[in-house]
């Protein structure tokens, strides 16, 4: 029997990766604005009902982390209240909801990877809004899986890999923050994980162990500077000129929003409960760079 998954958003990194990775026996319905606008609550339930899905994935979000500092109410409406509204709609439809969340629910002060039950404490408006979303989903229905991820990249949209490749075109050296550590995570690996979790939720409807909060990031860890070095090394393999990474501190790169110094997430619960292990970050990052440069070459060819 086909598993029909409705996902919010259309242009988002995770949605694009899901649409490219649809496995056999799965159908993905991406719902975009204006049919479903998370800032307009009355659009949410009707759009989700019309999708007639077996599982609902809320992957859309207000993701402009710095801008959220000056628009905290909008961020809260989209990431907090609307996530709850989507989960209530899922509950009324009798289907599970998967909510995508973030490492930014933590303050980053811990000296080891965060576990699901570690104390939360967001240090940004975006983080606070995503935490409100988690709480609203959990309050709306027990039939939920909240998947916290981090440092997402892909060939789509705005992300660190694309930014580094763009900066590296024009510069010999790029200054990159070296005192924030985390786990780069490919949107394709997230897409595969979502499909596996969705299947499990559908196949074992009464199993509470499959429900709750799970951490979901690439294996291994690095700093933003280490990530940038890997990106430039791979780009060099594809004929790009070398680019040096100058390691800077967070204090040297002030941004409106504070970010956690430690974004590492411990993923053993997802592996034990859902049988999902995301691959090592380096390999997936290499193939993303290779694809982006191949696509760029294709565009430049006469
Ligand atoms: N990127 C990361 O590093 C990262 C890290 C941790 C967690 N996450 C979480 O992962 C999820 C996906 O992130 P992403 O990087 O794939 O996002 P993204 O590429 O920034 O895309 C965001 C998506 O949300 C949609 N959206 C924004 N406001 C909306 C609204 N009011 N109503 C309906 N749709 C709206 C956008 O649609 P439009 O095209 O119409 O604007 C777009 O499709 C989010 O929940 C995010 O919080 C991301």
Thinking of the domain 3-157+184-219, which architecture would CATH place it in? 3-Layer(aba) Sandwich (3.40)
Take residue 16 and report the two structure tokens written for it: 């694009």
Output the pLDDT for position 134: 98
Output the pLDDT for position 122: 98
Which atom of ligand 1 is nearest the CA belonging to 64?
Answer: 20
* Nearest residue by C-alpha to atom 25 in ligand 1: 60
Asked about 114 being catalytic, the answer comes back as no
d(CA 115, CA 213): 10
CA of 176 to the centre of ligand 1 (A): 24
**Three-class SS of residue 52?**
coil
Output the pLDDT for position 302: 47
* Nearest residue by C-alpha to atom 22 in ligand 1: 12
Each of the 302 residues of the chain gets a pLDDT tens digit; together they read 899 999 999 899 999 999 999 999 999 999 999 999 999 999 999 999 999 999 999 999 999 999 999 999 999 999 999 999 999 999 999 999 999 999 999 999 999 999 999 999 999 999 999 999 999 999 999 999 999 999 999 999 999 999 999 999 999 999 999 999 999 999 999 999 999 999 999 999 989 999 999 999 999 999 999 999 999 999 999 999 999 999 999 999 899 999 999 999 999 999 999 999 999 999 999 999 999 999 987 666 54
Q: For 6-31, b where at least 16 C-beta lie within 10 A, e where not — what string?
A: bbbbeebbbbbbbeebeeeebebebb
* Nearest residue by C-alpha to atom 24 in ligand 1: 60
Which atom of ligand 1 is nearest the CA belonging to 78?
Answer: 31
CA of 232 to the centre of ligand 1 (A): 26
d(CA 74, CA 84): 15
CA of 261 to the centre of ligand 1 (A): 22
**Three-class SS of residue 36?**
coil
Among 36, 134, 152, 281, which is best to mutate for testing ligand 1, by the most ligand atoms less than 8 A from CB? 152
Output the pLDDT for position 300: 63
Cα angle for residues 102, 164, 19 (degrees, 5° grid): 55
Chain segment 108-130, per-residue pLDDT in tens: 999 999 999 999 999 999 999 99
CA of 10 to the centre of ligand 1 (A): 9
Which atom of ligand 1 is nearest the CA belonging to 130?
Answer: 47
CB of 186 within 6 A of ligand 1: the answer is no
CA of 173 to the centre of ligand 1 (A): 30
Output the pLDDT for position 298: 67
CB of 7 within 6 A of ligand 1: the answer is no
Chain centre distance of CA 33: 19
Q: DSSP secondary structure string, 116-145? A: TTSPP---SHHHHHHHHHHHHHHHH-SSEE
CB of 152 within 6 A of ligand 1: the answer is yes
* CA-based R_g, the chain, Å: 19
Output the pLDDT for position 275: 98
CB of 160 within 6 A of ligand 1: the answer is no
Output the pLDDT for position 296: 84
pTM of the model: 0.96
CA of 240 to the centre of ligand 1 (A): 30
């Amino acid at each position: 029997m086909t598993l029909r998954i409705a996902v919010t958003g259309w242009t988002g990194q995770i949605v694009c990766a899901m649409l490219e990775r649809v496995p056999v026996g799965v159908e993905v319905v991406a719902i975009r604005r204006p049919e479903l606008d998370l800032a307009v609550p009355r659009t949410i339930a009707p759009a989700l009902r019309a999708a007639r899905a077996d599982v609902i994935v809320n992957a859309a979000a207000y993701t402009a982390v710095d801008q959220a500092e000056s628009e905290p109410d909008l961020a809260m409406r989209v990431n907090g209240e609307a996530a709850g509204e989507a989960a209530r709609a899922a509950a009324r439809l009798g289907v599970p909801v998967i909510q995508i969340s973030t490492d930014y629910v933590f303050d980053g002060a811990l000296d080891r990877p965060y576990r699901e039950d570690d104390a939360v404490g967001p240090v940004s408006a975006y983080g606070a809004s995503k935490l409100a979303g988690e709480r609203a989903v959990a309050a709306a229905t027990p039939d939920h899986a909240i998947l916290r991820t981090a440092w997402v990249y892909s060939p789509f949209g705005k992300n660190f890999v694309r930014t580094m490749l763009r900066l590296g075109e024009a510069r010999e050296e790029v200054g990159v923050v070296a005192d924030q550590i985390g786990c780069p995570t490919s949107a394709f690996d997230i897409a595969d994980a979502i499909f596996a979790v969705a299947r499990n939720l559908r196949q074992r409807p009464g199993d509470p162990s499959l429900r709750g909060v799970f951490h979901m990031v690439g294996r291994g860890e690095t700093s933003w500077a280490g990530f940038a070095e890997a990106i430039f090394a791979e780009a060099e393999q594809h004929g790009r000129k070398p680019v040096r990474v100058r390691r800077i501190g967070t204090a040297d790169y002030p941004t409106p929003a504070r970010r956690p110094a430690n974004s590492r997430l411990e993923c053993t619960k997802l592996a034990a409960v859902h049988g999902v292990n995301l691959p090592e970050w380096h390999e997936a990052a290499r193939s993303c760079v290779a694809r982006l440069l191949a696509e760029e070459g294709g565009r430049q060819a006469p």
